[in-house]
Amino acid sequence: MKFIKIAISIILFLSVIFIGSIIITSTIKIFDISDLSKIEQYSSIFGNVCGPILSLISITLVVATIYIQIKELNETREEMSRSTKALQDQQEEKQKEVILAINTAKKEDYHRAIAYLSSEIKSLMSKRLPHPKHSLDDTLENLLNDALIDPSLMKNMLIDYQSEIIQASKWYNDLLEKCYIYDGISEAKISQTVKDNFKVLEDITNV
């Protein structure tokens, strides 16, 4: 852009010098106010020489002006494109930050719910209950483990401790559901760990 402006200035400067030289030279050689034919000759020379030069200068200036406007328009478009791209990148970055904040909040909520349900299940599974077949007490977890290999004991368990088994199974299913959701929004996968920790409930569910 700067080069074009300099070139136009040089063309105008040279044109002015050229035209001025022709005028001065012609005036010195042929200008004689007492001779009308010389005045006409001078006018003819001036018109024949300066006319095309001025036309060329005008065309050059028009072309240069159009080129400059096109160049400025392209630069404006490029600048707008860069600005739009920067704005889009900024919006995408903000959107990622919002999603990250939402996921972080969700993970914290699910983590608290998982910790609460795990604690409730552990407390229930460690509850000591009378053994259906003898007088010794044992934890609900041990009773269920024994019942998995003793169908008759399982039958008695489902009768004597139905409410505890239903409650434990309900909490366990709710816990697994939250663990699966947590696995989907977190890099840490905890559902398998939960299954291992409460294997007896997993086995009962699959029976």
SS (H, E, C) 87-126: HHHHHHHHHHHHHHHHHHHHHHHHHHHHHHHHHHHHHHHC
The region of weakest confidence among 47-56, 80-89, 108-117, 118-127 is 47-56
pLDDT above 70 coverage of the chain, percent = 73
Q: Round to whole Å and give the CA distance between 83 and 24.
A: 55
Q: Round to whole Å and give the CA distance between 153 and 207.
A: 14
The region of weakest confidence among 37-46, 48-57, 143-152, 157-166 is 37-46
For residues 4-23, average pLDDT:
61
- Report yes or no on whether pTM surpasses 0.85: no
Say if residues 127 and 139 touch (Cβ distance below 8 Å): yes
User: pLDDT grade, residue 179 (50/70/90)?
Assistant: very high
Say if residues 205 and 144 touch (Cβ distance below 8 Å): no
For residues 5-16, average pLDDT:
61
**Could you read off the pLDDT of 32-71 as tens digits, one per residue?**
545 555 556 656 665 666 667 767 777 877 787 888 888 8
For residues 181-193, average pLDDT:
85
Q: Which pLDDT value is given to residue 40?
A: 60
Q: Round to whole Å and give the CA distance between 143 and 200.
A: 10
Which residue has 């998982």 as its token pair? 114
Q: Which pLDDT value is given to residue 28?
A: 53
5 pLDDT higher than 70: no
User: What is the torsional sign of CA 30, 32, 38, 41?
Assistant: positive
175 pLDDT higher than 70: yes
Q: Which pLDDT value is given to residue 123?
A: 93
